């Protein structure tokens, strides 16, 4: 009996030796051992990331503190990390101009209506071009892609807008850019890679039409890509400066970006000629403060809206990028 007991450990050791490597218990402490080289690499990566963050954030922070600092302190380099001689003269000059509120009204209208039209046109077309049973999709996709590289140019575009009676109209901001080929390609990639074909087969068995499948199944599953495309279109409409510069002459129809440019140019011209009350250097410093304030006024709505869409943006921007 004692001999059998002495043989048991030996037998257990033999079984353990024959067992596959994956069945041997995993030693957690062995995997957590870090060398000095690992710590050095982690510190270097952390410093590089910190440097990148500072390079991205500091210009925005400087614009914010310079917009309500003493213009002379900004010009002499005294404003580095904290505001100096706080004053809101620049913001008072900007916000007391009635054209600012007209520009805000127009830009908000153009942005929301334009973004809605973009989504209404882009998302259904992207889904249609993602369906394999849609035979002409390759030809249509080629025609759409062709417009990304070749266009009529500025003068033919202006003549076209004139013949369509879109000059000095809000629709010149919305209709010409209603369909974005780049956004459509992103949405089509999402539909091809993220909407399983089995869902369509199940819906077909239940007697659901294409329209019913699109509205009841596809759209609820596409909130991420809709948020991404909507954010792209929203930012594009909000920052649209060239359209108002070329096609709009009526100041009541001008967007915010063009209004801010006119205020900045008018302020520079006025202060540049007013050498009797202030020096040319002071006039230029005041114009720079106006410039910083204009940047804040024009970008603040986007900075407020983006955090609410960030989770959808981070999720949807990489959807469809990797397949397999």
Nearest to 254 by CA among 99, 26, 132: 99
Nearest to 133 by CA among 204, 224, 217: 204
User: Which pLDDT score, from 0 to 100, does residue 237 have?
Assistant: 92
Pairwise pLDDT comparison (277 vs 63), residue with the higher score: 63
Nearest to 177 by CA among 235, 91, 92, 262: 235
- On whether the pTM is more than 0.85, the answer is no
Residues 57, 282: contact at Cβ < 8 Å? no
- What are the tens digits of pLDDT across the range 306-320? 777 776 666 655 554
User: Which pLDDT score, from 0 to 100, does residue 286 have?
Assistant: 67
Residues 175, 247: contact at Cβ < 8 Å? no
Instruction: Name the one residue in this structure whose structure tokens are 């600012």.
Output: 100
- What are the tens digits of pLDDT across the range 58-107? 888 888 888 888 777 777 778 888 888 787 877 877 778 788 888 888 99
Nearest to 312 by CA among 179, 196, 186, 222: 222
Residue 240 φ then ψ, to 5°: -65, 110
Q: What is the mean pLDDT of residues 6-28?
A: 47
Distance between CA atoms of 237 and 229, rounded to whole angstroms?
12
Token pair for residue 156? 């033919």
Residues 89, 289: contact at Cβ < 8 Å? yes
**Domains by residue range for the chain, with CATH:** 2-67 (no CATH), 91-316 (1.10.3720.10)
User: Which pLDDT score, from 0 to 100, does residue 283 have?
Assistant: 64
- What are the tens digits of pLDDT across the range 31-59? 567 788 888 899 999 999 999 999 988 88
């Amino acid at each position: 009996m004692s001999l059998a007991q002495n043989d048991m450990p030996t037998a257990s050791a033999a079984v353990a030796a024959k067992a596959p490597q994956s069945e041997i218990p995993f030693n957690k402490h062995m995997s957590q051992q870090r060398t000095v080289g690992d710590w050095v690499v982690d510190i270097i990566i952390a410093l590089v990331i910190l440097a990148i963050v500072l390079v991205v954030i500091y210009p925005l922070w400087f614009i914010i503190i310079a917009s309500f600092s003493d213009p002379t302190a900004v010009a002499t380099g005294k404003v580095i990390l904290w505001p100096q001689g706080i004053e809101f003269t620049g913001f008072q000059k900007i916000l007391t101009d009635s054209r600012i509120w007209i520009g805000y009204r127009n830009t908000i209208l153009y942005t929301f209506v334009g973004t809605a039209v973009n989504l209404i046109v882009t998302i259904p077309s992207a889904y249609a071009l993602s369906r394999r049973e849609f035979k002409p999709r390759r030809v249509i996709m080629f025609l759409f892609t062709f417009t990304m590289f070749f266009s009529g140019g500025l003068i033919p575009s202006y003549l076209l807008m004139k013949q369509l009676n879109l000059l000095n109209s809000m629709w010149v901001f919305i209709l010409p850019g209603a369909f974005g080929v780049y956004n459509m390609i992103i949405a089509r990639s999402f539909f091809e890679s993220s909407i399983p074909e089995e869902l369509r087969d199940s819906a077909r068995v239940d007697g659901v039409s294409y329209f019913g499948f699109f509205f009841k199944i596809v759209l609820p599953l596409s909130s991420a890509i809709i948020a991404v495309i909507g954010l792209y279109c929203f930012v594009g409409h909000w920052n649209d400066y060239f359209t108002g510069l070329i096609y709009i002459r009526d100041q009541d129809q001008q967007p915010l970006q063009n209004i801010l440019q006119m205020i900045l140019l008018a302020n520079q011209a006025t202060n540049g000629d007013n050498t009797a009350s202030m020096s040319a250097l002071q006039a230029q410093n005041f114009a720079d403060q106006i410039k910083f304030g204009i940047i804040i006024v024009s970008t603040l709505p986007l900075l407020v809206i983006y955090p609410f869409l960030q989770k959808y943006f981070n999720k949807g921007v990489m959807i469809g990028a990797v397949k397999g």
